[in-house]
Amino acid sequence: MTSFCINYNTCPLINDPGFLQVKEKTDYYVETFCKGGKENWSICKRYLMKLRWNFCPDFVLPDTPDTTDEILDKFEEE
């Protein structure tokens, strides 16, 4: 089983230090999703956006409740 997300080396949530303002929140996402085993990173909404549309808007978080279609709609409305 792969424990780290396959996007770990490129995802802005991991690699951009200013991506999330609250460090505790970043730590929670990293431990719960990014390093949480495939059963967890494979349900991350950022991962699912990349898989479905090959990009992910910055406003999307691992536990964003919207579907990938709804996120795309919001992105296009911006």
In the complex, the residues that contact ligand SF4 under the rule CB under 6 A are 5, 7-8, 11, 13-14, 29, 33-34, 41, 44, 46-47, 62
Contact 38, 59 (CB under 8 A): no
3-state helix, strand, coil in the chain (%, to 5): 50, 0, 50
Q: How far is the CB of 47 from ligand SF4 (least distance, A)?
A: 4
Q: How far is the CB of 27 from ligand SF4 (least distance, A)?
A: 12
Q: How far is the CB of 22 from ligand SF4 (least distance, A)?
A: 15
- Residue at token pair 């996120």: 71
